[in-house]
Chain A
Amino acid sequence: MSAAPLLQVQGLGQHYGGRSVLRDISFTLPAGESLGVIGESGAGKSTLARLLMALERPHRGSVRWSGEDVHAMPARARRALRPQVQMVFQDPYGSLDPRWRVGRSVIEPLAALPMTGAERQTRLAEVLAAVGLEADAALRFPHQFSGGQRQRLAIARALSTRPRLIVADEPLSALDVSVQAQILALLRELQRREGISLVVVSHDLPAIEVLCDHALVLRGGEAVEQGPAARVLGEPHHPYTQDLLAALA
């Protein structure tokens, strides 16, 4: 085990076609802790998520997974690290192929790992149980599930590789209200039971409070405030954060 933090972001910036969308973002996330990224449309939240996942290259700065600069390393080395970092999207359809039985989608990330078929099937049963689904769910197709069940399947897929970090982009906002609380409880339970770190991108401030140790508030691509989540949400310093909280009253 290296002593380097799980996730280290230094001076991260991104441009699209000369337009700056993210500027000078820095933070450190120790293993087992979680970060909430708060912001409105256009704040740069999803860009930050994609950079953390190494799905695009930054214009400036670095992202380190366990001390290793993911954008500087060769593609092969990055592929070897990928199983450690998984993503859950707002729309669970995004990670489930509509034409595949969901079991196949759930263990697709395991294709990169040296495992036997039997080991993969065992892992499939484990992750389905971990998200509260029956084993025979694996045989059905995505459209046969409710929105909340599909989000459970997307989380099972993310869990399949035993990741140390899951980046979740608005994991609740497409779900029915009564289902949001179920997924929220599931994510918190997974943090506790499996010691997984989350980066939760959301404008749902109560959900951030429940899931995150740290919070980072983005506006127009800049971090206007960051710190312990309880402090940022309880005693916000920046007027913008105060404004966001006032909207909930």
Chain B
Amino acid sequence: MSAPLLELRDLHVRLTAPGGARLHALRGLDLTLARGESLALIGESGSGKTLTALAVMGLLPEGAEVSGRVALEERDLLALDDDAWCAVRGRRVAMVFQEPLTALNPLQRVLAQVMEPIRIHRLAPDRDSARQRAMALLARVGLDERQARAYPHQLSGGQRQRALIAMALAGEPDLLIADEPTTALDARLRVQVLDLLRELVAERGMALLLISHDLALTARRVDRLLILYGGRAMEEGRAAELLQHPRHPYTQALWAARPRLGAGRDQPLHPLKGNVPSLKQLGAGCPFAPRCPLATARCAAEPPPFHRQLACWEVSP
């Protein structure tokens, strides 16, 4: 078996809060991703999903302390210096951000922004061929020539998100990371953008790491799911299996909490109790314990190991 494209081993990230306190935000994450595979990292605010993406991109905030391993085809990314990162970021690993208006340069036409990675990474011999490549990419994501020559503010939210995807593809990355790429969009556009990402992964033999809080939307559109809560993996699995047989109490609660279309005005609702914990509130044990219907004293005291794709003392794997 060949090495996975992306491998995270026992990844920890500690942040410094404004008051100087250390916050243990990511608490030992393991993850592997092969070429051609798509994985959704599902979590709520504070779960650590965006930090994971930033760690893979080498974009963690100032003062963040990382330990563990982040490897791209066995190359340790945590050991890279700034120069080495420039050859990786945008080229081997590219990212689509949540809010396309802030990720796009407002003063530059979309076409020029898609050409930039092609030029920087010398993927085309000259300007004309760079332009042709950028045009082809924009066409592939569904933007016509007029839209390619537009400024970001002249495009709709969905078109901007497509432009951003074209820009991320321009460096011909092996790994595409998309951080909540559809949050700002309407439901129909969300589906279209996710379907486009999935097609691109298949066409280009890339891997996709999709970051989302929306289990229902993503579960049918990726190969695998990894459910994060409070900086720890709760459950992982093939998306189809996890949809049918969620094992972790948190995954089950997330599913049960969704109202069902067609189940009527009086359908029973099963909201989770309590609140998403802030990083400061997280104790030593399982982060979900305070809200978990199955929790025992042990759960609050000691974090369950991640064993057979599940981290739970009370549910046998």
Contact = CB atoms under 8 A, between A and B. Distances in A.
A248 B267 CA distance: 18
Interface string A44-62: 0000000000000000000
B96 to A, nearest CB: 19
Contacts of B262: 209, 233-234
B264 A209 contact: yes
B215 A209 contact: no
A24 interface: no
Given A146-B278, A178-B257, A233-B261, A244 B187 contact: yes
A177 interface: yes
B259 A210 contact: yes
Interface in A141-186: 146-149, 176-182, 184-185
A105 B231 CA distance: 34
A230 interface: yes
A67 to B, nearest CB: 27
Interface in A72-90: none
B264 A181 contact: no
Interface string B263-304: 111010111100110100000000000000000000000000
Give the interface SS of chain A, mostly helix, strand, loop or mixed: helix
Given A181-B270, A209-B259, A230 B44 contact: no
B45 interface: yes
Contact of B265 (A149, A205, A213): A213
Contact of A230 (B215, B260, B265, B278): B265
B188 interface: yes
A244 B45 contact: no
Contacts of A203: 186-187
A60 B126 CA distance: 58
A87 B45 CA distance: 26
B276 A188 contact: no
Interface string A193-234: 000000000010111011111000000000000000110011
Contact of B269 (A149, A210, A245): A210
B124 interface: no
Contact of A176 (B189, B260, B269, B276): B276
Interface of A: 40-41, 146-149, 176-182, 184-185, 188, 203, 205-207, 209-213, 229-230, 233-234, 243-245, 247-248
Given A179-B276, A209-B263, 19 more contacts: A41-B186, A146-B276, A146-B278, A148-B276, A149-B275, A178-B271, A179-B272, A181-B259, A181-B270, A182-B271, A182-B272, A185-B269, A205-B261, A209-B261, A210-B267, A230-B264, A234-B262, A245-B261, A247-B191
